[in-house]
Amino acid sequence: MSQTPKNLRFTASLVTCLSLAGCAGGQLETAAPPSDNRAASTGGMCIATQAEMTVTVGNAFKNGDWVRDYYSGNKAQVTNGQVTLTPAPDAEGLLLLEAVDAPEQSFTWAGATVYFTVTDRFANGRTDNDQNYGRKPDGKDEIGTFHGGDFAGLTEKLDYLEDLGVNAVWVTPPFEQIHGWVGGGDRGDFQHYGYHGYYALDFTRPDANFGTREEFRTLVDEAHARGIRVVMDVVMNHPGYATLQDMQTFNVGGLREGFEKHLPERWGDWQPESWEDFHAYHALIDYDHSGWANWWGKDWVRAGIGDYDTPPNASIDPVRGSLAFLPDFKTESDKTVDLPAFLQNKENTRATRLEGATVRDYLVTWLTDWVREFGVDGFRVDTAKHVEPEAWKQLKSEAQDALDSYRANNPSQPLPAEEFWMVAEVFPHTVTRSSYFDAGFDAVINFDLQEEAQAGAACLPAMDSIYREYSDKMHGNNPFNVMSYISSHDTQLFSRIADNKPAMQKRVAAALLFTPGTSQIFYGDESGRQFGPTGSDGHQGTRSDMNWADIENGTAEPVLAHWKKLGQFRARHPAIGAGEHTQLSTEPYVFSRIHGDDRVVIAFGKE
């Protein structure tokens, strides 16, 4: 076969990939980007009462018990199965009732609050590591560039998370990313780097923009000292693309004959002409060049270049198919493989040859080494349905062994977790017990709540049928757990859904944090972080910088204070997520959650 047709096919395919998704985290599967018709569901908010309420407590508390409203601190004694209290002025009509002498409760993942941060966009603790591997800002909207967030910055903000009631932090993949960029969006109108962590180059090292090994160790240790577990985002479906800069740095692939004259001395500095976009550099590359053997190699990935296998469409073969034309790891193969050529020649890698190892063995070893060395408590698994279940079972088993090893080697560390936890991203999974729970997963991400919570933000009683359905399903004959959210990096920000209205952003805290199962806060849900520059890729704007200025100058305080109060109440009472839901009355709206000896009653009154 001649080179030109295959090159053209691959280039067209890659441009299609970039035009469709931007390719971070398997976005071909996620919901459509938010449209500008986003405020339609934010009207009709009910008016929360500030008047005294008489609340039925059911069997959560008995006559004579003293209960406290956690929001106001006021107390009342149960009489005839009821208490009478007045909501705090800023409580949005809520009473958060707990026993005055409530015992301290043990952590359970079903009652956890997980805070999801995109490390690069959350907090910049060290400005001296903002530019590495020749990466540069674009001097424009900085849509797909690195912004400076790092492990040190996240560590500095752990007290903030603790005050929010967070007991687990989910960090985006910390691995060294591709050094260069790919064209972003359907118009190729920005440079898209691996700032999000889903374009891995070397799974054995942290990316220098994120920080050092010791800084990651400090992050984990300091989180554990506060009782906060660390959930690390991992990817076994794909590595990152080969960029111009990585081709030059690691001597992989090749250019079309004579085309090097069109590149600057440092290939990653290439810029399109005025009539071109950032996809145009593909025309310089020979995708049939023998030099692609120096990259991952045909035994490691399907990529449709050089002598590599061409992956099928992921909609036809979800396991062997390529997502967004990313190289697809051959995790299902039982063939023994060598270390990829570029890693054999990479000076600072910690990757070594493993005797008799398959692709899956290498990846599992690299990922679980982070558990063995640092004591990571869990994995959030990206694109789980695009890897065979046997791989996840192996990952879970070896991650548990690694955590046990860490505990044995570090007996003095305040490690809160004993059992390793894994949660799967399986678009568009709902609240149902699927086969993923038999493949090593303790929970799956629930994609339904983001839309359902809009009605609850307008008026909390609208959530009761949802709460009841979730609780009944998760507490059935074969119990399970899900993690629910209102914002994510691959869908929408609730602040945009709510048209940046503080009242809705405040009220939605109850809708989310009272949802049965694990609740996930996306950084800035609690502070009104706004949608950022997005170019022709509608998901990029969901990853705007954390709005610390709004927090520091007090603009976010009315919303943030409410989130903190509800988050702290949830942290005190795992029953809110793990307990069974029972509605006690409709007017006022009252329900209880009971889990073992942990019991709460939550009431909402409206005028």
pLDDT digits (tens, 9 = 90+) for 403-433: 999 999 998 887 667 899 999 999 999 999 9
Structure tokens at 180: 């260069």
Identify whether 338 is a catalytic site residue: no
Q: Report residue 591 as tokens.
A: 């329900």
For the cut 60, the answer to whether the pLDDT of residue 9 exceeds it is: no
What's the order of all strands across the beta sheet hosting 66-69? 75-77, 66-69, 94-99, 598-604, 589-595, 580-586
Q: How do strand 378-381 and strand 421-424 relate by DSSP bridges?
A: parallel
Other residues' Cβ atoms within 10 Å of the Cβ of residue 188: 23
Single pTM value for the model: 0.94
| In the predicted structure, residue 441 carries a pLDDT above the cut 70 | yes
Catalytic annotation, pick one of 69, 162, 398, 425: 425
Q: Name the percent of the chain lying above pLDDT 90.
A: 91
- Does position 4 have pLDDT exceeding 50, yes or no? no
> Which member of 98, 162, 382, 442 is catalytic?
382
Distance, CA of 505 to CA of 530 (rounded, Å)? 11
Cα distance between residue 553 and residue 537, in whole Å: 31
Domains and CATH numbers, the chain: 112-182+196-239+327-580 (3.20.20.80)
pLDDT greater at residue 560 or residue 3 = 560
425 is catalytic: yes
Output the pLDDT for position 43.
Answer: 56
- What is the pLDDT averaged over residues 490-503? 95
pLDDT surpassing 70 at residue 41? no
CB 456 within 8 A of CB 508: yes
Angstrom distances, CA of residue 54 to CA of 78, 186, 510, 534, 604: 11, 57, 20, 49, 11
pLDDT value of residue 158: 98
